[in-house]
Amino acid sequence: MKISKKIGFIGAGAMAEALIKGLIKSELFKSNQIYISDIREERLKDLKERYALETTTDNQEIVERVDYLILAVKPKIIPIVLDKVGKNISKSQKLFSIAAGINTMMIEKHLREKVSVIRLMPNTPALIGEGAIAYCLGAFAQDEDKNLVNQIFETVGMVLEVEEELMDAVTGLSGSGPAYIYLIIEALSDAGVNVGLNRNDALSLALQTIIGSAKMVLQSENHPGQLKDMVTSPGGTTITGLKILEREGVRSALYQAVEAATIKSKELRGEK
For 254-263, write each residue's pLDDT tens digit: 999 999 999 9
Q: Where are the beta strands (DSSP E) in the chain?
A: 7-10, 34-37, 54-56, 68-71, 94-97, 116-121, 131-137, 157-161
Residue 59 marked in a binding site: yes
pLDDT at 28 over 90: yes
Share of residues in the chain with pLDDT > 90 (%):
93
Answer yes or no: is 270 a known binding residue. no
Question: What does the pLDDT read at residue 233?
Answer: 96
* pLDDT (tens digit per residue) in 68-101: 999 999 999 999 999 999 999 999 999 999 998 8
Rounded distance between C-alpha atoms, residue 239 and residue 62, angstroms: 58
75 is an annotated ligand-binding site residue:
yes
pTM of the model: 0.91
Arithmetic mean of pLDDT, 119-132: 95
The predicted model gives 10-32 an average pLDDT of: 95
- Residue 13 annotated as part of some ligand binding site: yes
pLDDT per position as a tens digit, 162-174: 999 999 999 999 9
pLDDT at 235 > cutoff 70 = yes
74 annotated as belonging to a binding site for a ligand: yes
Amino acid 268: pLDDT = 77
- pLDDT of amino acid 154: 96
Homologous superfamily (CATH) for 7-168: NAD(P)-binding Rossmann-like Domain (3.40.50.720)
For residue 272, pLDDT beyond 70: no
Contacts 24+ apart (CB under 8 A), 120-125: 120/96, 120/149, 120/153, 121/167, 121/170, 121/171, 121/174, 121/175, 122/15, 122/98, 122/153, 122/156, 122/157, 123/174, 123/175, 123/177, 123/178, 124/178, 125/157, 125/178
72 belongs to an annotated ligand binding site:
yes
Q: How many CA atoms lie within 13 A of 67 on its CB side?
A: 8
How far apart CA 47 and CA 35 sit, in angstroms, is 10
| pLDDT (mean) for 23-47 | 95
**C-alpha angle with apex 269: 159 to 182, nearest 5 degrees?**
50
Percentage above 70 pLDDT, the chain: 99
CB 4, CB 56: distance < 8 Å: no
Alpha carbons 92 and 201: distance in angstroms, whole number? 55
Provide the pLDDT for residue 221.
87
Do residues 169 and 262 lie in contact, with contact meaning Cβ atoms separated by under 8 Å? yes
State the average pLDDT over residues 222-235.
Answer: 96
Position 2 scores a pLDDT of 82
| Whole-angstrom distance, CA of residue 189 vs CA of residue 114 | 52
Average pLDDT over residues 127-139: 96
pLDDT at 267: 87
Q: Where are the domains of the chain?
A: 7-168, 176-269
One-letter amino acid of 168: D
Between vectors from CA 263 to CA 260 and to CA 269, what angle results, nearest 5°? 140
Residue 47, CA atoms < 13 Å, CB-side half-sphere:
30
Q: What is the band of 269 on the pLDDT scale with cuts at 50, 70, 90?
A: confident
Q: What is the pLDDT of residue 100?
A: 87
The domain 176-269 is placed in CATH, from the list 3.40.50.150, 3.30.499.10, 1.10.10.60, 1.10.3730.10, at 1.10.3730.10
Is 178 annotated as belonging to a binding site?
Answer: no
